[in-house]
Amino acid sequence: MVAEVIYGDQLAASLREEMKEEVTKLKASGISPKLVVVLIGDDPASKSYVSGKQKAADFIGIDSELISLPSTTEEKSLLELIERLNNDQSVHGILVQLPLPKQINEQAIIEAIDPSKDVDGFHPISIGRMLTQQETFLPCTPYGIVTMLQSKNIDIAGKHAVIVGRSNIVGKPVGQLLLNEHATVSYCHSRTKDLSAITKQADILIVAVGREKMIDASFIKPGAVVIDVGVNRTNEGTLTGDVDFESAKAVSSYITPVPKGVGPMTITMLMKNTIQAAKAHNKKK
């Protein structure tokens, strides 16, 4: 068995074409979706993510504005900026790029964003709505993962999904989204005993821990679907995932690569959330 590779970059490109058409129609009807990204400091990874977001927005036709602030920015001034953006009727989506400098409380910033503009899907109200299956903005990486599974008609209902990693950004919410699709979900983490005994039960294995090639074929049930969320830079400067791709590919039915896997889908779902925000805002008028 050799796995079929799910290329997130190809799916993302096709979804962005659809969104481009939708935005053209929205603009013709007087709705111009706008996303504001706030970047604090000079973190190279954050700068790279923000650049990817701006390119996607430009291609789709979403108005995007980048507000760059120094790493010395105080929490009070960032909160004032968010309040101004909350009140700006031309802005539909607000994204504050994480991580933030240590003098700023991340949770306070996340909670300050108006939930109707929370296109990252991190606000406690957004998370609560997701848990109770109400309409909301879904966190972008988990949303992208479920969209990838659905694009290949991979059955989720009744399957055992095992999540390795329990972050608030990926691990916890992706498990909840799969539960919402009627999967049976297990979470594993750094304190899980005999990790491979649990991962080998997975029909769908999602790995999001940030440890280079941590999962190889010995952790995977033959025929499982493997989604690799990790992005690690090797000593040689190349990117690799949390899964040993070549080893895992030999036993799984589907697998995502790194790069060109989950990453492009994360940005694409952010664009989808921004379009959704603009449409919802227009309905309220």
> Active-site positions?
53, 97, 120
Q: Which residues pair with 36 in a beta bridge?
A: 65, 94
Q: Go through 25-45 and write b for each residue having 16 or more CB atoms within 10 A of its CB, e for each that does not.
A: ebeeeebebbbbbbbbbebee
The amino acid present at 41, given as its one-letter code, is G
231 assigned binding-site residue: yes
Confirm or deny that 229 is annotated as ligand binding: no
Query: How far is residue 120 from each of residues 77, 135, 142, measured CA to CA in Å?
Result: 21, 14, 11
Q: Is 165 marked within a binding site?
A: yes
Q: Which residues pair with 65 in a beta bridge?
A: 36
Tell me whether residue 167 is annotated as binding.
Answer: yes
CA distances (Å), 194 to each of 25, 85, 99, in order? 53, 48, 31
What does each C-alpha distance from 33 to 15, 72, 111, 134 come to in angstroms? Answer: 17, 31, 22, 23
- Residue positions in the annotated binding site? 165-167, 231
- Residue positions in the annotated binding site for NADP(+)? 165-167, 231
